Amino acid sequence: MLNISTTSTIELLTQIWQRLLQNPDIGPDDNFFDLGGDSALAVQLFASIADACGQKLPPVMIYHMPTIASQAAVLEQRSSTELSPLVLLKACNEGTPVFIAPGLGGGPAEFFQLVKYVDLPHSIYGLQPKGIEGFDAPCERIEEMADFYLRAILRLKPHGPYILMGYSLGGLVALEMARGLVTNGQKIALLVMLDSYPDIKFLSTAERFRLVAQRAKVCIRSFGRPPRADIRLGGLAGPDAISTFAPAFSRVRDAAYQALRRYRPTFYPGPVKFIRAAEVTDFPDDPRAVWSDLIQTLDVETVPGDHLGMLTTHYKELAAVLNLYLGEVES
């Protein structure tokens, strides 16, 4: 272990970063992900930091301190750092900030590609699930998730208007956040749900039959194909990275699944922009049939891809729709 009292922390971290990223030209304020870092390299990075500095930090903290300067500040404090669920994905000093909640088992990393193509002047914050760092118990209800995120959002922005978005399960959380804010007299400038649906048991009888039949057809068409990866990998490089990158990942994912099973949506007295995937697989094919009686005004847009692909492959097309929505807020 190196003695950081004689070696500058920033110099030490720079050496580690240069070796792992194979880049000799790295500054203290360069972003880890902009330099080509990913979840697998983050695991190696924090292991190297622990070996060199004697301070073990959870790799998930890379979202909160993605620069050498921010990591050095934490290491020199030699104390535990409270993690906010707000992860800044894009910084901007203009416009109302955007808060976006991830899908089941996901995290802020799943929006990295998407936000690169949101070109309007809004800061964008990804919401990190409670417990993913392994310190706290995860939330087991959608309403609890919404309250957890709202406390952090209100510390950053005490008054509206608010722009809320959510992908899959995160859309349900965003809906509940909006409900809580409206109940307290706050204004929602924009609420966007990305292919978000309640558990099948809370659909109407007709919709349940349609969904079961639809899933059966998908299974028949998919017979003989290799099984798909897990429903969400939280932006990680692959399933093998989960246990090392976020040891609490499975616990958070299981709690989120229980939250989905328990959540029964009630009427929301406001407008919602709903973006659905063009290729229907495991989810209802008609969001209006699910949400029209539960949302005051529902506008539906379709983007290419299936439930996963709309975010992981067709993020440019998805960003184009979000740019239109945000442009309407600006006007």
pLDDT-derived band at 2, boundaries 50, 70, 90: very low
More confident residue, 46 or 101: 101
Per-residue model confidence as pLDDT tens digits over 230-275: 333 334 344 444 444 555 677 888 899 999 999 999 999 999 999 9
Assign domain 86-330 one CATH number from 3.40.50.1820, 3.40.50.300, 3.40.50.620, 3.20.20.10.
3.40.50.1820
pLDDT at position 285: 81
pLDDT confidence bin for 228, thresholds 50/70/90: very low
What percentage of the chain carries pLDDT values higher than 70? 81
Higher-pLDDT residue of 229, 149? 149
The predicted model gives 66-70 an average pLDDT of 88
Q: What is the pLDDT of residue 216?
A: 60
Mean pLDDT of the chain: 83
Q: What is the mean pLDDT of residues 162-183?
A: 96
- Choice among 100-104, 215-219, 233-237, 240-244 with the minimum mean pLDDT: 233-237
Give me the mean pLDDT over the 149-170 stretch.
95
pLDDT at 138 over 60: yes
Give a three-class secondary structure readout of the chain. CCCCCCCCHHHHHHHHHHHHHCCCCCCCCCCCCCCCCCHHHHHHHHHHHHHHHCCCCCHHHHHCCCCHHHHHHHHHHCCCCCCCCEEEEECCCCCCCEEEECCCCCCHHHHHHHHHCCCCCCCEEEECCCCCCCCCCCCCCHHHHHHHHHHHHHHHCCCCCEEEEEECHHHHHHHHHHHHHHHCCCCEEEEEEECCCCCHHHCCHHHHHHHHHHHHHHHHHCCCCCCCCCCCCCCCCCHHHHHHHCCCHHHHHHHHHHHHHHCCCCCEEEEEEEEEECCCCCCCCCHHHHHCCCEEEEEEEEECCCCCHHHHCCHHHHHHHHHHHHHHHHC
* CATH topology agreement for domains 9-77 and 86-330: no
Output the pTM of the full model. 0.79
CATH of domain 9-77: 1.10.1200.10
Per domain, the residue ranges of the chain are 9-77, 86-330
